[in-house]
Structure 1
Amino acid sequence: MKRIGDFFLFCSGAHVPLLRRAPTETNKYGGIGATIFFTGLLAAFSGGYALWSVFGQLWSTLLFGLIWGLMIFNLDRYIVSGMKKRNKFSSEFLMALPRIVLAILIAIVISKPLELQVFGKEIRQELIVMEQQVFKTQEDNVLARYKQRMTELNGEIALLEHGIQTQALRRDTLQKIAQEEADGTGGSRVKNLGPIYKAKKADADSAGMALQKITAENGALIASKRQELAGIDSTFKATVAQLDRTHIDGLASQLDALGHLTERSIPVRWANWFITLLFITIETAPVFVKLISPRGPYDDLLEAHEHAFIIHRKETIEKREREYENRMMVVR
């Protein structure tokens, strides 16, 4: 336990030999050191997971996580150790403000990869939806390139078929009129096959020949246009089949998916904010502990130690200046 306590005192950034002379302060600085250590540990996990989600390589992930954790640990240790108690809260707060802002930024950076892990299941489902939306957009873009020509061909085919149907309806009507003239149910109302019937029968036969002609001509055009339409449809399907269907699973895509989830779901939004606030609280806790705690024996010892160093430095400088002046007087 003593070694663990000594390690946490080292993590706090305090001057351990001076802290030994103020035993009542060890618990406070031990707590600060533990907070700094576990923040660095969480940063290592966070950075490792972020790299793993991008590259998926174990050793590079472990190495980067270790380096990232040590960097955050050292930065936090520097932030806390650089704060001095001067019994003036306003000046201390102004001095601590840049450190607080830096601590908040570090907390946000650390929390994001861990938020991705917490909401991993929901993010994977959202990524599937995003993949489908991307593919649908790509498919619509491909379809837009062929849609105008396909619409034109379908319209032309419908027009040609309508021409055949119109001529067939005309032939059927003329045949019915000729038949009614023959059986006496229409026309002159006289049952005979006389000149009137023959004239109407000739009109019906002429319409039938015209139908055969337009059916042959339009049928050939319809077949040609349907063949062109089938070729366009085949090209469209081949182009769609060649579209990139790569899974979206990168870090940026996961952050984008998390953003979509927080926009749509209030519970996810609040949970996301609480996780971020938790890390901000953890990261800024050592700074605020140093800021709001009263001046203690360690602070007096540290100030006396620094003051003694300043006095020694001034005395050394003054001594060297006097020696220099004496040498200059001897030379003269």
Structure 2
Amino acid sequence: MEINKIKPFTAFLCKCAGASLHIMEKCPTQVTKYSTMGTILLITALMASLSGGYFFFAAFKQALLAILFGIFWGLVIFSLDRYLVTSMDFNANRKYINALPRIFLAICLGIVVAKPLELKLFEHEIETEMVNIRNQKHNEMLSSNTEIAQIDSTTRRFENERNQLDSMISKKRREWKRSEEDYYNEVNGKGSVTTTGRQGYGKEAERKDSIRIQVKEEYEELNKKVKLRINNIDKDWQDLQKKVDRKSSSIKEEAEGYEGPLAEIEALSSLTSKTTILKFVNIFLTLIFILIETAPVLVKFSQTKGLYEELLEAHEKENIKNIQDNSDFQEYEKRVEAKRKISQYNGEVVYDEQIKNRIWKEKTEFDLTVIEKQYYNRLQKLANESCVQQMYEEIIKSLKTEELFDIKKQ
């Protein structure tokens, strides 16, 4: 059969697809098919490497480790894809059964490879959506926090009380100012509804002066009490405000901790549920990656057995036959060697004068038990093969039937 030398890069692609080069050289019409399949596997591995590296970097922010993980992940996906392609069986009875789990695994790998790349493609939209989700989570946590709700209630009560006290002191201050104004108008003789219009310090002026002094004292006393209470309220309010600030900061940090690959996936899911166009684009990209991942398996599944497959099958059968022949030959050599050693020992037994004399003397009560034990022990020293036991039994049988030892001839 004519052998065609394959170019190095094409040979590399065929090797990626799991082809045997020395067989592929005998069927050049199959080179394009397997080199194309190898190209698809390499492209898939490259995308998986980029995908895994980005996903690792998004999670841990370590560039060097992300590169190493990307290379490792690409090799893992390449090895799995290569296994899926090379393990496909062309046997019609098992073809469909074997293909289903491989296609399912290829679909899963396609989704795994596609998702990190989708996160990178929609990076800007995802960041915007994550900000909205953080704010939403922050507000939800604030509203659902009972401690903050209690603090807010106490703060509002303090504010209401302070406002009431401010209103009381303002009212008393206005009363005091009116009493002073009324007194001075009376002394100065200014006519009004509340004054007599007579100038000087008379009885009415004295009465108004007494009222003015009393209201002033009441105002000062009330102002003193109100200021003390307001100071206490302000102090308590500041303490509560600090608690609120600490709790709010804790909740804000928790909300801002919403990041990483899982948060990005959730944000992408939220975006696709809101925007129909983005939803279809996301589905379309996922299907593309699934199609790329399953393409080699589908091609291998749909194709019929070609010249390369026929030669490969014949080569495998020949290898199996050679192994069996070699095994049979080795077993044959063992048996020949064992027979040779046993035959050699048989001669020693036949011409062993002590055994012959014993057999002749004890021919009336012939018992080979001792001889059998000696014979078997010496056989084990000579040959330790699996066939010794069978040959030993055959020879002992011949001893007992006088095939090996003809006593009468002695």
2:340 matches 1:330: no
Residue correspondence of structure 1 range 177-192 to structure 2 within 5 A: none
Report the AA paired with residue 105 of structure 1: C
Matches within 5 A, 1:164-243: 164=169, 210=218, 213-234=221-242, 236-237=244-245, 240=248
**1:29 pairs with 2:26:** no
Cα offset, 1:103, TM superposition: 0.9
Q: Which residue of 2 aligns with 1:111?
A: 114
* Structure 1 partner of 2:125: 122
CA–CA distance in 2 between the matches of 1:92 and 1:60?
A: 41
Alpha-carbon distance, 1:94 to partner: 1.3
Name which of 96, 99, 105 aligns with 1:96.
Answer: 99
1:84–1:299 contact (8 Å) kept in structure 2: no
Deviations 1:95-131 (CA, angstroms, capped at 9, x unpaired): 1111111111111111111111111111222233344
Q: 1:241 to 1:304 in 2, by over 3 A?
A: closer
> RMSD of aligned C-alpha atoms?
4.2
Counterparts in 2 of 1:39 and 1:167: CA distance versus 1, 3 Å: same
Contact 1:87–1:295 (CA under 8 A) maintained in structure 2: no
| Residue aligning to 1:244 | 253
Counting aligned pairs with the same residue, the percent is 28
Alignment of 1:1-332 (within 5 A): 2-88=7-93, 91-136=94-139, 141=145, 143-144=148-149, 146-164=151-169, 210=218, 213-234=221-242, 236-237=244-245, 240=248, 244=253, 249-314=259-324, 320=331, 323=335, 327-332=388-393
Q: TM-score, normalised by structure 2?
A: 0.65
Question: In the aligned structure 2, how far is the partner of 1:186 from the partner of 1:63?
Answer: 96
Residue identity matched to 2:225: E
In 1, the alpha carbon distance for the partners of 2:235 and 2:175 equals 29
Question: CA separation of 1:222/1:329 partners in 2, compared to 1, >3 Å: closer, same or farther?
Answer: closer
CA drift of 1:286 comes to 0.7
Q: Which moved more, 1:52-61 or 1:268-277?
A: 52-61
**Aligned equivalents of 1:329 and 1:241: distance in 2?**
89
- Select the structure with the greater relative contact order (CA < 8 A; seq sep ≥ 6): 1
Structure 2 regions of 5+ residues with no counterpart?
1-5, 336-384, 394-410
State whether residues 106 and 294 of structure 2, in contact with CA within 8 Å, keep that contact through their aligned partners in structure 1: yes
Determine the C-alpha separation between the residues in 2 that align with 1:208 and 1:301.
119
Gaps of 5+ in 1: none
Pick the structure with greater CA Rg: 2
CA contact (8 A) 1:104 1:284 kept: yes
Question: Structure 2: how far apart are the matches of 1:233 and 1:326?
Answer: 96
Question: Residues of 1 paired with 2:105 and 2:112: CA distance?
Answer: 11
Output the TM-score relative to the length of structure 1: 0.78
Which deviates the most, 64-73 or 144-153? 144-153
Q: How many residues align?
A: 326
Deviation per residue, 1:137-166 (Å, 9 max, x gap): 566657436313212212322343455567
Instruction: After TM superposition, give the deviation of residue 217 of structure 1 in Å.
Output: 2.7
The alpha carbon displacement at 1:47 in A equals 1.4
Amino acid of the structure 2 residue aligned with 1:122: E
- Kindly state the Cα deviation for residue 74 of structure 1 after the two structures are TM-superposed: 1.2
Relative distance call for 1:168 and 1:62 in structure 2 (3 A) is closer
Distance verdict in 2 for CA 1:87–1:144, change over 3 Å: same
Cα offset, 1:213, TM superposition: 4.2
CA distance in 1, matches of 2:294, 2:219: 90
